Structure 1
């Protein structure tokens, strides 16, 4: 009996030991659910370099007075020269709070501004002048911004600028003798203020649109012929640009959830509206046979404008989109004028500055998808642009040019990015070279007036993409 009990106990002990030994193996075979990894949170703390293009236009006053005092020999108020400009920039940003970014920057600007006027009186006296204009310059400053979303930074900026200004160059001929006043280029210093928006396309690429006002103050040069030039200029600089940002666009991992993926529909009909500006660089010619021949180039204007657009895009390949569009631009320049006064005789010439009243464009675009949500594109088309009528006063007579529609080819490019499944934002630059028209006189002063030139257009727009049936 004792042997049976001992054997039973031994069997039970072995079974229990086997059960305990088997328990870890069974546990090891059970599936284990891994803890989800925290998603990284975007950070704007990065260094960057970039480049941009847009337009510059100058405004201000110039005055020529004799040494020792006396009536001004010549004065010009409302001077504007507008043309295409380029920028290169570098800087750093520091995200100091979930919604706030501060940073420093240095940028360098180049401009093609060149305003020239040539006037011939009675076939004998000739006056040619190249007016002050921006050549190049740099700005160092800082910016502070608010993150409207993790990818969109709205910012203001301020800084110190140094600009090289091409000065007056005047040549006068009176029947034989030639008088030349070539003022040396001057370096002007002043302050810069502005604002902009920057949009992150990827960890290392962002796009921005920016406006800067540069106040350059008074500058004086003494001409060897015995006259004092005083110039008071300010520059308006408008750019769209791209930046390469070094390092990953992400901070430490947190438990924040990742943003839901977008499902953009590039194929379909869209409508949009936007705002921006235009710069005009016209050439103008006018004549009164036997009395006056007048030619000007670059004496342009600028305006603030809006755009309404409708179009259709089709995604023809995983990375390519093509489309057609039509748009209408409307603009105003606020009634800007230029006034020139000649000394002694009290002769005053005034004129409105050239500006777009409204325009239409039809064309197409081809784009490449750098990401499923972001399209970089080029465009081309045909434009009809109606210039605002210009009223001018010349030697006491006043005349108003009729409104005319100018036609020409348009080229440009831009980028567009979805920030919801149906709404996208785009930034776009267009250049239109219009024909020259010679039917602009009303017969009051000049018998022949002609004008043509180039229009630079920048726009930022919001676009709604209609659901595909």
Structure 2
């Protein structure tokens, strides 16, 4: 009984081991089969590409560039006799605005992943020329005045900025400036054969400080675009004209530019970080946008009271802060080209800027010319320097309404009527996508409006006006999904 039981137990143990081996073998075979099926299925799936590596931003470079925009000048001038005494003539709040050009060079050093510092030098030119003529039989004299304006100047300084993204630098700047100023010249002619008198404030070279701010966008390759504002404080200067009269002038200059730079060397360092997901910019479709910036207006004005008074001014302008609302449609017609049509409305305010002239016991005051609102319809054509960045030119037709100017001319008070002026607009800018639907753009426009001669008011029986408007805007744009 014991022997039989022991033998049976041995046989059961052998059978159990055999069953365990078969189970393990089947399990292993099942696992191998499952692995083979999984591998076979995986072979049919698309292979995921390895993460693309992007270069680390590197702004340590030398650069050269050029820009355009507008300048306007404001300040005070006062004429007194040598040795002191009552003021012979004074002017406060004058602004003359016109197109200006710049050339610049500099270097940047990226001192940290988000911070850039550098130095620069630039040279500015302007063709501001402001001439005012007042005269007539009613006054018994004719006065022609050439007003202060920027001729040329240079600035040397430094800037420091923060990289909002590897390609976008927000910066502030400060420096030392020297500006050549074309100063006052006054010519008095007594009508009826009387004597004439010329008073000339000598041209002067003024020194001062510059502060400002801007944004620079890195495009493809070694090209970047920037928009920049600078304030130049020129301080108080004293000059003596040939007749011995003393001029005291306190001027400041406002400079707004859009520029392009070529940066020497290679952007970026070794590929060490994963690239952000690629954008899919929607260049074809409808868009809406809004922006803010400034305008400078350079009007040409003529007015008269027959047989009594004539007034002419060319180049006397003002500046304002304005906003823009735009809607348009673009179509990408080729891998590198985009064309489109747009409509926009500009709204502006001049903040109550005015000019006051005193002399000979008389005072003349006037608001400065400025844009109230304007509209433009037109088209644009652009080249894609990268899939996300468009550089473009534009053209169109505009209607601009100037603010009514209130003035006091030797005790005669009146307000000019508001009228709409029409003319052609040309310009250009650049636009960059930050997401698949949102982009930012910087844009410069120049509008030359026709002269109107139906602007009579309560004082002058004949008034005509026209001029040029410079507009600079930065905007955010939303591109609607294509149906």
Normalised by the length of structure 1, the TM-score is 0.90
Other-structure match for 2:14: none
Partner of 2:358: 341
Q: Does the 8 A contact of 2:52 with 2:275 survive in 1?
A: no
Q: How far does the alpha carbon of each residue in 1:286-343 deviate from its partner, in whole angstroms, 9 at most, with x for none?
A: 1111111010011100001010000001111122111100000000010000000013
> Are 1:99 and 2:114 counterparts?
yes
| C-alpha distance in 1 between matches for 2:51 and 2:169 | 30
* Cα RMSD after superposing both structures: 1.6
Within 5 A, what are the aligned runs for 1:273-422? 273-343=290-360, 346-422=361-437
**Aligned counterparts of 1:44 and 1:384: Cα–Cα separation in 2:** 43
Structure 1 residue matching 2:111: 3-state secondary structure: strand
- Work out the CA distance in 2 between the residues paired with 1:433 and 1:349: 28
- Does the alignment pair 1:466 with 2:483? no
Q: What does the per-residue CA deviation read over 1:129-185, in whole Å, with 9 as the maximum and x for residues that have no partner? A: 101110000000001111111111111110000000011122221134332233332
1:135 to 151, 159, 174: 151
Rounded to whole Å, the distance in 2 between the matches of 1:37 and 1:111 is: 48
Q: Deviations over 1:385-435 (max 9, x none)?
A: 111111000111211111111111111111111121111111111111111
Please give the residue correspondences for 1:166-177 in structure 2 after superposition, counting only pairs within 5 Å: 166-174=182-190, 175-177=193-195
Q: How does 1:19-418 map to 2 (within 5 A)?
A: 39-122=54-137, 125-174=141-190, 175-254=193-272, 256-343=273-360, 346-418=361-433
Question: How far 1:42 moved relative to its partner?
Answer: 1.0
Please state how far the C-alpha of 1:241 moved relative to its aligned partner.
Answer: 0.5
Q: 2 CA distance for matches of 1:114 and 1:224?
A: 22
Q: Secondary structure at the match of 2:457?
A: coil
Q: In 2, Cα distance between the equivalents of 1:365 and 1:38? A: 35
Query: What are the ranges of 5 or more consecutive residues in structure 1 without an aligned counterpart?
Result: 1-33
How many correspondences in the alignment? Answer: 433
TM-fit CA distance, 1:226: 2.1
SS at match of 2:331: strand
Q: Which whole-Å CA distance do the structure 1 matches of 2:366 and 2:53 have between them?
A: 64
CA displacement at 1:275 relative to structure 2: 0.7
Tell me the residue number matched to 1:31. Answer: none
Q: SS where residue 97 of structure 1 aligns?
A: coil
C-alpha distance 426-38 of structure 1, shift in aligned 2 (>3 A): closer
* Structure 2 unaligned residues grouped into runs of 5+: 1-48
Q: Deviations over 1:255-306 (max 9, x none)?
A: x111222111211000011111100000111111111101001110000101
CA distance in 2, matches of 1:368, 1:35: 31
Larger Rg: 2
Query: Within 1, Cα distance between the matches of 2:50 and 2:308?
Result: 89
Q: Distance in 2 between matches of 1:84 and 1:306?
A: 20
Other-structure match for 1:27: none
Structure-2-length-normalised TM-score: 0.87
Whether contact under 8 Å (2:68, 2:102) holds in the other structure is yes
Deviation at 1:199, TM superposition (A): 0.7
1:66-85 CA distance string (max 9 Å, x none) = 11111111000001100000
